[in-house]
Structure 1
Amino acid sequence: MSMFSKVDIGGGLSDFWDYIREPRPHRWTAWGVALVLPVVVFYGFSEHLIPYDPPQRQIIYFENWTTNRSAAEVRADWIDRAKETTARNAKKRAEYQRFADSLGIEYDSAEADEVTRDTIGEEAAEAAKRRPEPPKRSTLAERAARGAAPSQDR
């Protein structure tokens, strides 16, 4: 038979209550320390273990456009930014196209490519679509055919 087969919770609680009710000389002092000590420890941890600095007010200056810009300058700026965005999108789309081709998935970007050609021009669209050339590396067979390199440690 196990020691914990019959647990008497009621008896334990009544013994604890009897112990608390006994008039001891430093009963209230012990209660005060038992309650205040954890509060002080938790407060100390929360305030000083991980200090919190409230955010400071910041003034951030940036270059603004002049008030006397013409509508043509504004439109030219918009077009420049649109061309940059379109070129970035074309590069990303070309990467997705190569990835889809490597997996054998159909990926049709003809409509988006047409918009890119209309926006940034034929040459820029083709340049964005071109795959960068990998660095040229010699194979083991090519290095063997050239012969062993002379040793430099003499």
Structure 2
Amino acid sequence: MAVMRLKTRFNAKAGLADLWDYLREPRPYRWPLLALSFAIPLSGLAMLTRESHFRPPDAPKVTFISTLAEGRSDEEIRRSNLENQKRKEAREAELAELREKKVEAYKTLGRATGLDVDKMEREAQIENAREKAAAEARQRELYQAGSGG
């Protein structure tokens, strides 16, 4: 078995001679097509080799808006905190009163339609206690897991 040499299989000289013969033939649009066939890969290479440098964005300019007077004393801060706490407790009391009125209205409606609202209330209290105990257990578990113990 004869080993064929690589040089004899791939002859670049013959390929270039064929290309030159093809280019010398008078064909319509041969020069524009040749230019286009060179332009496409060259433009692709030009786009790939172009470097882009992006500068980091400017840091945001933060403007703090405060409705509180600057230089307040600790006593003024405590006083305003107490006033805010009183307003919060008043809102919570008002919401609790509205919830209570709502529950009473539903109880009245339930009694008028023949439902056993006392039994329903007991079941709801049991369910609320169960949910509260589960939430406390989850809280204890998270606290113990977070404290590493």
What's the TM-score, normalizing by structure 1? 0.28
Which structure: greater helix fraction? 2
Larger Rg: 2
What's the TM-score, normalizing by structure 2? 0.29
Task: Identify which of structures 1 and 2 has the higher relative contact order when contacts are C-alpha pairs closer than 8 Å and 6+ apart.
Answer: 1
